[in-house]
Structure 1
Amino acid sequence: DQAPSDRTILNWYHEFQRNNLSVEDAARSGYPRTAVNDETIDAVRAIIEDDPHSTYEQIQDSLGITSSSINSIIHDYSNLHEVCARWVPHQLTDDEKQFCIQFCRDSMERFEGGQSRRVFDIITADESWLIQQQKSNQKFGCHKLIYDQPKFIDTKVQASQANGGDFLHDIRFNQVHTIGTWWDGNCKMLRGIQFNDDNAMLNALEQAIDNQLTKDDFKNCFDDWFIRMDKCIDADGQYF
């Protein structure tokens, strides 16, 4: 069991044939196991605390350690896990638990446990992108709907097209729609289609939304949401 593998012995054979008789390990790329130390652990924690959306690549570029070291620090030393591309602690603080409970109670009361018609005014996603190709310069513009947290809107949804930080167009849909629903269920059908101009793309988008989604589609989206609110309250704000 202690003998070297066949592949290792074969490598030695080839090295000896090239008159390389050294028994020392050759220098190689990569980082030593000592990359996981108190200094790098604190540095990784600081990066994630500053931006919970940080990626392995960003941390690796910043600290110069391998992804395996980052993975070990995050999971073995910092007790974090990934939820929707955001690093969150396994254990919530008492204040965080109370916030979850209070939000669920307020929402259950405001929307009568999901029975209120105001449920259809809820925008649940925090961000969604629709990509179009700009023919003039082969760059990509996008439509972006941004909400920092669940918002409650009484009338209409407005989306703005942004390209290089400049807002080009505003769109107002005739009905309130759940972003995640119409994106996953309908807007992806437009993927790969090339439009000659902005208006053609916007018309296709509005048609996809208005023709495909029904009121029942939206209601079904929220049924599980209110069930999860009840579970959150029963779990005293813990993950479940």
Structure 2
Amino acid sequence: MESARVSGTVSIEEQRAYIKIETLRGKKPTGIHSALSDVCGELTVDRSTVSRWSNRFRRGRVSIHDDPRPGRPKTSTDERNVKPVADALEQDCRVTCEELSEVTGIPPASVYRILTNDLKKRKISARWVPHSLTGEEKQNAWTLQPC
């Protein structure tokens, strides 16, 4: 019998809630993972994650939420830092990460992360361009134009 897929996504916390309930019912992690896979498909957490959370719930864990983690929070790619990088890149698309770092005061590694992850840019022929180009942009990509 083929299982029906539910449209939409199931969050990680919702999957943890299901893991918790099924663990308390005595179901094994492989069975829980299989049931989650039927509903979530490719968005299912790994089998090792199901086992890890199942063990935690078996040992008495109550919360399905992540525990607070020590260390410095990730702040380099928040909107306050993305905008200055985007603005500086608009002025000169041939600028390097190091130059952007000097202009914005953001570390070069964070500048690179902002460019590639947030702004979806990559360096081609010394210019930062979008990852995916439209048909018109592909046609004009090799003509000599200012940034």
Q: Please classify the TM superposition score into its range, dividing by the shorter chain length.
A: 0.3 to 0.5
Look at both structures and tell me which one has the larger radius of gyration over its CA atoms: 1
More strand per residue: 1
Q: What is the TM-score with the length of structure 1 in the denominator?
A: 0.27
TM-score computed with the length of structure 2 as normaliser: 0.43
